[in-house]
């Protein structure tokens, strides 16, 4: 199906921000051996941002280091990844990434790096549920069937936002439209935070987002969840059915997150970070936060991460082609 949406919108640019994430007590700071910087090629308010901030303190404790989080969402996240390629491969500069990194090669003609050849995959960390939400003041539908009927009755009459052209949120929304055989206009944003703000304000009608980004708004009733995009419901929103349950068996989209480092990290450095990730995500407080957000944690080995990146590149190349997104 050819979706009549403008595919040529350029990727946005955003200024990078940073935040110190403290450890448990000043004494720990004094004893810290290093500072570890986590570059997030995502804006604040994204699912990856929420996950990383929930685990940062525990990760710093496991690494015996101070942790700095730097959001660098420019060019949809490409600038953050480019910065990572220039960092020393000593394990002190890492990045927490989403599916976006394996989608970029299919939607951007001239990437300043190769994925994953110019990086060191350290671990697949887990997945976070995605949900399609609507502005309840603009959309009366409460179920997938009602929502598809409204979209069919008004072709291209509704618009949806994403964190940028070619991101997993953009692709997930396009795949919904394709499966439902409907159309809508895409409005890309520089990051998820501003997109959610405009969704709440009614400037856009709907979006597919990582659940942690909008969980509080769904519970408050300021956004309405139409359906979960995964193959099963999430404990964070147990009453929201999947689209599979609602008659779209072919629509299953998952958002995953992983940790990577610059190319050339030593096996010892990779092992150290991988073990620290296992320790951090097994911390009681982090496990509780992940459960509340609905995230599924399963730390892989670096070898498994390498294989996953390569297979996901192939998978998303096919999905991008199916959605009709033209490489920029």
Domain with residue 23: its CATH number is 3.40.190.150
Chain centroid, CA 266 distance in Å:
27
How many whole angstroms separate alpha carbon 206 and alpha carbon 216? 16
In a domain, 3, yes or no: no
β-sheet with 224-228: strand ranges across: 185-188, 159-162, 206-210, 130-134, 224-228
* Pair 143, 202 in one domain: yes
pLDDT score recorded for residue 303: 97
Q: Is 196 exposed, middle or buried (0-12, 13-18, 19+ CB in 10 A)?
A: buried
* Pair 193, 223 in one domain: yes
Contact 38/71 with Cβ under 8 angstroms? no
pLDDT score recorded for residue 10: 35
Q: Where does the pLDDT of residue 75 fall: very low under 50, low under 70, confident under 90, or very high at 90 and above?
A: confident
Please tell me the least confidently modeled range out of 13-17, 269-273, 311-315: 13-17
Q: What is the mean pLDDT of the chain?
A: 89
* Pair 109, 157 in one domain: no
In a domain, 260, yes or no: yes
In a domain, 92, yes or no: yes
How many whole angstroms separate alpha carbon 133 and alpha carbon 174? 14
- Is pLDDT above 90 for 305? yes
* Pair 175, 194 in one domain: yes
pLDDT score recorded for residue 4: 40
Q: Nearest 5 degrees, angle CA 213-CA 219-CA 229?
A: 55
pLDDT score recorded for residue 33: 66
pLDDT score recorded for residue 325: 82
In a domain, 2, yes or no: no
How many whole angstroms separate alpha carbon 283 and alpha carbon 274? 15
SS3 33: coil
Q: What is the mean pLDDT of residues 269-287?
A: 97
Q: How many CB atoms lie within 10 A of CB 216?
A: 10
Q: Where does the pLDDT of residue 288 fall: very low under 50, low under 70, confident under 90, or very high at 90 and above?
A: very high
pLDDT score recorded for residue 190: 84
pLDDT score recorded for residue 298: 95
- Is pLDDT above 60 for 30? no
In a domain, 134, yes or no: yes
Boundaries of domain holding 282: 17-127+256-323
* Residue reference for tokens 């939400």: 133
* Pair 39, 122 in one domain: yes
User: Residue 150 maps to which CATH number?
Assistant: 3.40.190.10
pLDDT score recorded for residue 7: 35
In a domain, 155, yes or no: yes
User: Of 85, 227, 101, whose CA–CA distance to 167 is shortest?
Assistant: 101
* Pair 121, 28 in one domain: yes
* Residue reference for tokens 């404790």: 61
How many whole angstroms separate alpha carbon 170 and alpha carbon 100? 10
Q: What is the mean pLDDT of residues 14-22?
A: 38
- Is pLDDT above 50 for 257? yes
Q: What is the pLDDT of residues 137-191, one digit of tens each?
A: 999 999 999 999 999 999 999 999 998 888 899 999 999 999 999 999 999 998 8
- Is pLDDT above 50 for 300? yes
Q: What is the pLDDT of residues 230-250, one digit of tens each?
A: 999 999 999 999 999 999 999
User: Of 328, 325, 255, whose CA–CA distance to 1 is shortest?
Assistant: 325
* Pair 119, 135 in one domain: no
pLDDT score recorded for residue 166: 83
Higher pLDDT, 166 or 273: 273
For 38, the token pair is 């986590």
In a domain, 103, yes or no: yes
pLDDT score recorded for residue 233: 95
* Pair 100, 140 in one domain: no
* Pair 123, 22 in one domain: yes
């Amino acid at each position: 199906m050819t979706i009549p949406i403008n595919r040529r919108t350029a990727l946005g640019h955003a200024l990078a921000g940073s935040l110190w994430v403290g450890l448990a007590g000043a004494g720990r700071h004094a004893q810290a051996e290093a500072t570890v910087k986590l570059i997030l090629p995502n804006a604040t308010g994204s699912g990856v941002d929420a996950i990383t901030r929930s685990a940062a303190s525990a990760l710093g404790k496991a690494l015996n280091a101070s942790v700095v989080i730097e959001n660098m969402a420019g060019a949809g996240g490409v600038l953050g990844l480019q910065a990572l390629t220039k960092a020393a491969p000593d394990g002190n500069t890492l990045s927490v990434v989403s599916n976006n990194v394996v989608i970029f090669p299919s939607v951007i003609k001239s990437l300043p790096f190769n994925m994953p050849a110019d990086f060191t995959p350290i671990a697949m960390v887990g997945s976070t549920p995605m949900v399609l939400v609507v502005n309840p003041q603009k959309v009366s539908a409460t179920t997938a069937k009602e929502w598809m009927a409204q979209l069919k009755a008004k072709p291209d009459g509704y618009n949806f936002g994403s964190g940028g052209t070619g991101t997993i949120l953009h692709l997930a929304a396009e795949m919904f439209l394709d499966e439902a055989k409907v159309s809508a206009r895409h409005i890309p944003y520089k990051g998820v935070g501003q997109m959610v703000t405009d969704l709440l304000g009614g400037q856009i009608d709907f979006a597919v987002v990582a659940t942690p980004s909008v969980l509080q708004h769904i519970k408050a009733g300021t956004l309405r969840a139409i359906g979960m995009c995964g193959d099963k419901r999430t404990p964070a929103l147990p009453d929201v059915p999947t689209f599979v349950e609602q008659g779209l068996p072919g629509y299953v989209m998952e958002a995953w997150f992983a940790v990577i480092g610059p190319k050339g990290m030593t096996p010892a450095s990779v092992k150290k970070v991988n073990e620290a990730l296992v320790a951090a995500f097994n911390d009681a407080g982090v496990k509780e936060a992940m459960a509340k957000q609905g995230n599924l944690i399963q730390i892989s080995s670096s070898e498994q991460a390498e294989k996953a990146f390569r297979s996901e590149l192939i998978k998303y190349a096919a999905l991008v082609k199916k959605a009709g997104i033209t490489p920029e």
